[in-house]
Structure formats: structure tokens, C-alpha cells
Chain A
Amino acid sequence: MSDESNDATQEIGLEAAGARPLFQLSLMGKVGAAIVLFWIVVALIGPFLAPYDPADFVSDDSFAPISASHWLGTDYIGRDILSRLLHGARLTMALSFTATVLAFLVGISMGFTAALAGSKTDMVISRIYDAFLSMPTIMLGLVVIAALGSSIPVLVVTAGLIYSCGLYRIARALAIEIKVMDFVEAARARGERLPWIIRSEILPNAVIPLVSEFGLRLVFSILFISGLSFLGLGVQPPTADWGVMVRENLAGLAYGSAAAFVPAAAIASLTIGINLIVDDFSAQRGQEIAEEMI
């Protein structure tokens, strides 16, 4: 194990020094990257491209079919679906991105603290995380929302804390593995302080595994937040959010309206895109994609 990680560390060191590109995308990975890039651009400029106001009732027909004036038709109360989709992209992606960043900050700082601060702290933090992991994430989310009610901060913080569990384990394992390596011991012996060791010696070596982890957690957050919005327990209507759009147009599905399908497909394409990149990334890192969607 230690031999392998030594090799890996050297490799990472080379890559960081610019000896060769960070990683090369395969064809599937490029497709994924293109999809993700597309949605990022939409999230940034989409609201300016939207032909109508997302809250305006622009048509007298509910579930109007696709037409020249409404490229994706209208929803259950005659709002333009394309406009709502373009506006929703920003919210849906911003919420899950914020949650993932939060999960990273909490998980990594907790993991490094547990690994470096001594066995007692380690045990307390690990047991707390074990307790959280013993519940399915959706159940945890439902109980929290039942208690606190649904609001955007509650949603983001809940998702962030839930998905910090996985990050915590990874960060802790990495830090434990790396902290016994010679260069860290050397820094300790030089009398460097703990925060300096973390920032300058441990973090750079943990970057690559954490990047593919970021993609996975982002997918989980998107599925979690849009899932709750779909259940009516996340983002609240009339806000344009992809999960909300699926929920409010669900009834039209039986009549053949694509109003619920379009935002669902948007979420699906985004998560598939991210997973294609992650899969490519982990395949090259020799890791199996994490199977912990529960």
C-alpha cells in the first residue's frame, strides 16, 4: 500500500510540476465535459437569452405544444418552458454547487482535524459521522425539513452536511496515510505548525483524488436537492427550478405533455455529463466509481 501511494505521490508531483497534462479525457469524457460546459454557459447567460419572463403567463393554453413562439411549449398555467428552463439552470446549479463546496470545506477540515489532532478527537468526530451515515440520506433530509421547514439555506446546509460524510472519510484516510510520509515528518521536525503542514504539505498531495470526489458529490447534491424540490419539500414554487418544474407539470405527463420531461432531462443530462468526466478521471486513477448513492 505504502509503495503504491509513494508512486502515486511522485506521479502527482510530476503532474503538478507541469511535466505532463493533469489528465487526458477520452471520447466519453469529452462528451461529458461538453455537456457540463454547455449548462455552465446556460447558467451564466441563460436568463438574458430567455424570450419571456419565467413568471409570466404567456399563453392561454396550459401544456401548449412546441411551437415557433414557444420552442419547448408552455407549462400547466401557460408559462414559457424554455424561459423557465433557462432561469432554472442558474438556481439548480448554484444550489448544488454551493452545497458541494460546503460539503468539501466541512468534510476536509473535519477529516484533517480528526487525523492530525489526536485519537480522542478522531473518535468523537468519527462516531458522529457514523451516526449520520446509518440513515439513508433522503430520510435524514426529510426529518430535517419536517422539523425546520423548507428554505433555501436549510436545503443547502442539509445537503452540504450530509455529503461532507464521504469527504470526511476520504480526507481523514488521506491525511493519515500521508502524515507518516517522510516529507511531512521532516516538516514536523523542522518545527512547522499544524496549519502550515496541512496547507503546504498535505493538501497538494490530496488534490487529485479530491477533484473526482467533487464531481461525485456534485451529482449527489443535484439529485438530492432536485429530488426534494420534486417532492415539494425543496425550492418552493413559483421559483423556476428544475426539480420544481418537474413536480408542477407532472400531471401533464399523462396527456403527453413534455413539460415535466424537459426539466427532468436537463437534470439527467447534467448529472450524466459530470459522471462521464468523473468516470474518466477515476478510471485513469485506477479507482472504481463510488457506489454509495444511498
Chain B
Amino acid sequence: MWLVVLRRLGLGVITLWVVSILVFAGTEILPGDVAEAILGQSATPEAVAAIRAQLNLDRPAPVRYFEWLSNLLRGDLGMSLSANMEISTMVSERLQNTLMLAALTAAFSIPLALGMGLAAAMFPGGRVDRLVTISTLFLLSVPEFFIAATLVLIFAVHLKWLPAITYVTDYESIWQLVKSLALPILTLTTSVVAHMARMTRAAIINVMTSPYIEMAILKGVPRGRIVLRHALFNAVGPVVNVVALNLAYLVSGVVIVETVFAYPGLAKLMVDAVSRRDMPLVQACAMIFCTAYILFILIADVLAILANPRLRQPK
């Protein structure tokens, strides 16, 4: 069993390595020169030369890639071009803010999604099930900024309960911080819950089709008891897998949500870096997000292996 887990971990490291090549290659697909592209209209020969020296562009790409990678592994993220600062200092505070947002979202969305998934799977095709399936289909379809705009109009404009913009750094009380975080968390939760609830429902319904459940139905065990006592334990593996997979989805969710609410997180930093074409900063942020993403998927897979004996045999 541990061999299979180790193999999966190895695969995760390889995936991460491939992603690092893709992220680095991003700068190389540029027609012409990165230095000129960064400077744009103000590309005087001296300025171009200065940036070229700063980025070590005079050396071949593979050499630069390995240098960048080894610096990355030692925790040296390089210098930002636009802010002229160490990227690691810029990133650390932003990363904390984003992690706080993600952790709070997870804390709300996991129980909510599991409850919805369970309620829907209790009577497939029933009224609760149809309500959950249709409402999650709606939420899955709409862009995050639509959810955000709707919530702002309801809670900030009409009810005046919550502020529309987030202030994380200067707040007067914990209550104020909670209030200003409420809308971003609510938006993220709404979009994550839709995925998670649907997949939880599918995982439980999948278990519900097994013969031993049919047996329980036939001998007259009440429906709720079947789901909670018989099916749930065997669904734990797939459901935990679902949860980890959906937390990976937060990576794309935060990009939009942090922009809507001007939240000082890592995703906002990255979007700003992209519009300023600050490539070292973009690369660093992309690597952090992709690492988190791959990590969650890795955790999901390992948990699935641990939970399902059939996956434990090496092929």
C-alpha cells in the first residue's frame, strides 16, 4: 500500500516539475525580447540592456531555467521588476491573507456541502434532490463576479449589513474584520459549495447502488438510517476525495473574488503583476498557486488510496 502512495507522491513531484517548465516557458514563448516587451513604448537601448542584464537574458534559456529552479527550491523567489523589491517579502503577507480567506471558506463550505449532498442523496429524484441539483447547476453556471455583485447588492446596498470593500489591514475591532471578510467568504463558499455538494451527492448515490444497501432497503431499514449508518462509512473515501478536489478549485475562485473585493491577497498581487507584465512576480505567484493546486489533488488521490483497498495494489 505504501508503495502505491509513494509512487503517487513521486508522480506529484514530477507534475510539479513539469508545471515549473510550463511556467518558465511562458516567458520564452514571447516573440522578440522580454526586456522590450516589459518596457513597451519606453524601450530605450540603455533601458533594454539594463533589464536584459537584470534578467540574465544573454544566457541560454535552459541555463536560466535551472538557475531559476534552484533558487526557487532554496526559497529565493527573485526580485520584482515593477516594485524593485524581494518577491518573498511581497508575497508572504499576501499569502497569509489568501490562506486566511481559503481556510475560512473551507470551514463554512465543507459542512454545508456535505449536508446538501447527503440530503439530496437521501431520496434521489425527490423534492430535496431536485432543489439541490437545480440550484447547484445554476450556481455552477454563473461567473463568480455575478455571485459577488448579487451579494453586494443584497447585503451591502439594500440591507446595509456588510461593507462592500474589504479592509484587512486597518480595522478597529475583530467584529469589523469579520464583517468585512463576510462577503468574500460568502461568494467563495457559494461557488465551492455547488461543486462539492454535487460531487458528494454523486459519491453517496454511487455507494447506494451496492447490493448490501439493496439488502438493507429490502429488509425495511428506514431510508435515513441506511444513508447515515450503512452508506456513509463506505462513502467517506470518495467524499473526502471530493472535498480535497474542491479545495483545489479555490485556486481559481480567489482570483476573481480578490479582485471584486479589492482583497489584498496573493491572487490580486498576481493579477496586478500580469497587467504590469512583471514576469518574475507572475512566475513566483503561479508556482505558489500551482503547488497548492497539485498538493490538494495529491492529497485527494492519497486519501482515495487509503480509503479504498482496491486501489492499494500496485498495478
Q: Which residues of A contact B (CB under 8 A)?
A: 28, 130-132, 134-140, 142-149, 219, 223, 226-227, 230-233, 246, 250, 253-256, 258, 260-261, 264-265, 267-268, 271-272, 274-276, 279, 288-289, 291, 293-294
Contact = CB atoms under 8 A, between A and B. Distances in A.
Nearest to B26: A143
Contacts of A130: 18
A138 B255 contact: yes
B232 interface: no
Contacts of B23: 135, 143
A146 B149 contact: no
Interface stretch (B46-54, B140-148, B167-175, B221-229): B140-148
B100 to A, nearest CB: 20
Contacts of B290: 134-136, 139
Interface of B: 15, 18-19, 21-23, 26-27, 29-30, 37, 134, 137-138, 140-146, 149-150, 152-153, 156-158, 164-165, 195, 198-199, 202, 248-249, 251-252, 255-256, 259-260, 270-271, 273-275, 277, 279, 282-283, 286, 289-290, 293-294
A226 B275 CA distance: 16
Contacts of B158: 256
Nearest to B252: A138
Contacts of B143: 223, 226-227, 230, 264, 267-268, 271
A288 B199 CA distance: 10
Contacts of A219: 141
8 contacts: A131-B19, A138-B252, A140-B22, A147-B27, A149-B277, A226-B143, A250-B260, A279-B137
A272 B279 contact: no
B140 A293 contact: yes
Contact of B30 (A147, A254, A268): A147
Nearest to B279: A146
Given A142-B282, A254-B165, 20 more contacts: A134-B18, A135-B23, A136-B252, A140-B22, A143-B22, A144-B29, A146-B274, A147-B29, A231-B256, A232-B275, A250-B260, A253-B152, A253-B156, A256-B153, A256-B157, A268-B141, A272-B142, A274-B141, A279-B137, A289-B137
A271 B141 CA distance: 5
Given A139-B290, A142-B270, A233 B146 contact: no
A233 B274 contact: yes
Contacts of B26: 143-144, 146-147
A219 B140 CA distance: 10
Contacts of B141: 219, 268, 271-272, 274-275
B282 A146 contact: yes
A214 B181 CA distance: 37
Most buried by A among B27, B141, B144, B259: B141
Given A145-B274, A219-B141, A291-B195, A254 B149 contact: no
A131 B22 contact: yes
A165 B112 CA distance: 32
Given A147-B27, A231-B255, A279-B137, A293 B195 contact: yes
B251 A139 contact: yes
A146 B22 CA distance: 13
Q: Which 3 A-B pairs have the closest CB atoms?
A: A268-B142, A254-B164, A143-B26
B69 to A, nearest CB: 16
A214 B252 CA distance: 22
Contacts of A260: 149
Contact of A291 (B30, B198, B271): B198
A267 B22 CA distance: 31
A130 B269 CA distance: 28
Nearest to B256: A227
Contact of B18 (A28, A131, A148, A149): A131
A28 B134 contact: yes
A291 B248 CA distance: 13
Nearest to B248: A294
Nearest to B251: A136
Contacts of A268: 141-143, 146
Contact of B146 (A137, A145, A256, A267): A267
B249 A149 contact: no
Nearest to A271: B141
A148 B137 contact: no
B286 to A, nearest CB: 5
Contact of A246 (B137, B145, B252, B283): B145
B157 A142 contact: no
